[in-house]
A = this chain, B = another copy of it.
Amino acid sequence: MAKVKKQPRPKAEAPRGFRDYFGAEVTERTAMLARIAEVYHRYGFDALETSGVETVEALGKFLPDVDRPNEGVFAWQEDEDGAWVALRYDLTAPLARVAAQYRNDLPFPYRRYAMGPVWRNEKPGPGRFRQFYQCDADTVGAPSVAADAEICAMLADTLEAVGIKRGDYIVRVNNRKVLNGVMEVAGILDPADPSKFEAERGIVLRAIDKLDRLGPEGVRALLGEGRKDDSGDFTKGAGLDDVQAEVVLGFIDARRDSGAATVARLRELVGASETGRAGADELETIASLLDAQGYGPDRVLIDPAVVRGLGYYTGPVFEAELTFEITGDDGKPRQFGSVAGGGRYDDLVKRFTGQEVPATGVSIGVDRLLAALRATGRAEAQAEGPVIVTVMDRDRMADYQAMASELRTAGIRAEVYLGNPKNFGNQLKYADRRGAPFAIIEGGDEKDRGVVQVKDLKLGAEIAESATLDEWKAQPAQFECPRGDLVATLKERLTR
């Protein structure tokens, strides 16, 4: 072997924008995804796991918002044939490839779910990483809005299954076709020549998408001449007159007290537009299908104010919001907000086969939903540290290992301290760091007397915090127990 030149030490750092997840950060997410998978499975969805790498050709035009090819993905050339491959940026593009590649073998409609990391070559920011999880469910090849209704019901079931209480969430449903109808009425969409007014419609879509941030007045300005933002930058508007703008604004403000009233209002707005009426019909069908299964407007609601994704989807659009309040960064309470979104889209498989295949699906924001579970104390912790069996006598390691083994057999997480046992203080410091509930001590004296010392570290911490002398005397944080009773004693204390 050639001798290696002495090199400077490498930096021990994750690459910029990537992070590490420790302990409960991993297990809580795993537990949540397992619960989600269980619901998806029960709905007849099958798991699909594609690899992280796809050909650039199959990935297609990359992120919806980005024009330049290759922008936003991590790509490289294969050594052998120079083919470009890239890390997947979402789970939909691989689904499209799979639905095309296996079109003769898969059962259609193909219901599939997928969970896993995706990668984005974007500037990292606070809480914004270049690898993160997605969790999608899609139905490919089902033209009926029954498929959309099913996704909405499943989304509601999923949220409840992971621990979001009924009443703490709402799935809102809108429809791109209704918006198209509204744009026909506003005179910026001509069914006979869809290429006309493309620029105006683009501005309208982008304006509507900013409803949350700008409010109705900001959107109105963008529908008209344009708008100067706080920094003084001017954004050109769509140039609609007041009457036109009123029609468009009427759409996002069309929600009424009942689903039926909302649909009636939408019918007014779309007038004679065939597309618009089809969209209103679809919303009505979805609502009635869901009603029949017991998913009333307390869980799934027709709401034309759902605007995210209207530019991307082609029919029904859904969004799940958590309605309970959390404390925002500014210290004020605010609604938790969106944790999932989806809708119906065409052209999924068409890029590959030329054949149009209808598809509808939903994507859960894994990190956001997990944050919500943590905020409400509903993440499945599994975070308790192990019982630490300390080492008082190096030569009796076998006894300590056997003790830990006994505890584990009884289902108690346990380990022997395996660092240098010389300094007993270090052993207790380690137990603290591990969040251990108990440390077990068995020195020569205890061994002779057939007992062990148990340090209740949680209680010890509480006592150190606040206990009076009497309380401390009444329930000492360290006690002795017969060696034979150790498992039973810890078991009892751990479950109370």
Residues of A within 8 A of B (CB): 1-2, 9-16, 18-27, 30, 34, 37, 41-44, 46-55, 57-58, 60, 67, 74-76, 78-79, 83, 85, 87, 97-98, 100-102, 107-109, 111, 117, 119, 121, 129-131, 139, 141-144, 146-147, 149-150, 153, 198, 202, 288-289, 291-294, 351-354, 382, 386, 397-399, 401-402, 405, 408, 411-420, 430, 433-434
Contact = CB atoms under 8 A, between A and B. Distances in A.
A129 to B, nearest CB: 8
Contacts of A9: 351-354
Contacts of A87: 52
B51 A18 contact: yes
A147 to B, nearest CB: 5
Contacts of A21: 47-50
Contact of A97 (B14, B85, B402): B14
Contacts of A291: 398
B67 A401 contact: no
A353 B12 CA distance: 8
Contacts of A13: 55, 58, 97, 101
Contacts of A10: 55, 57-58, 60, 351-352
A22 B2 contact: no
A292 B142 contact: no
A284 B405 CA distance: 20
B14 A101 contact: yes
Contacts of A292: 398-399, 401-402
A46 B23 contact: yes
A113 to B, nearest CB: 9
B142 A419 contact: yes
Given A10-B58, A13-B58, A48 B67 contact: no
Contacts of A141: 419
Contacts of A50: 14, 18, 20-21
A48 B2 CA distance: 35
A188 to B, nearest CB: 16
Contacts of A47: 21-27, 30
Of residues A49, A119, A150, A289, which shows the largest number of chain B Cβ atoms within 10 Å of its Cβ?
A49
Contacts of A41: 27, 382, 413
Given A10-B351, A41-B413, A292-B399, 6 more contacts: A15-B55, A20-B50, A26-B47, A74-B76, A109-B417, A153-B401
Contacts of A153: 401, 405
A51 B101 contact: no
Nearest to A406: B293
A48 B74 contact: no
B401 A15 contact: no
Given A14-B101, A54-B14, A401-B292, A26 B1 contact: no
A147 B417 CA distance: 9
A58 B18 contact: no
B42 A413 contact: yes
A14 to B, nearest CB: 7
A31 to B, nearest CB: 9
A12 B97 contact: yes
11 contacts: A12-B353, A14-B55, A22-B46, A26-B49, A41-B413, A42-B412, A44-B386, A44-B413, A288-B398, A289-B397, A289-B398
Nearest to A129: B51
A294 B403 CA distance: 12
Contacts of A131: 51-53
A434 B51 CA distance: 23
Contacts of A24: 47
B20 A49 contact: yes
Nearest to A285: B397
A97 B20 CA distance: 11
Contacts of A23: 46-48
Contacts of A130: 51, 53
A415 B43 contact: yes
Contacts of A100: 12
Contacts of A293: 398, 401-402, 405
Nearest to A8: B57
A487 B1 CA distance: 69
A314 B153 CA distance: 57
Contact of A121 (B46, B79, B111): B79
A135 to B, nearest CB: 13
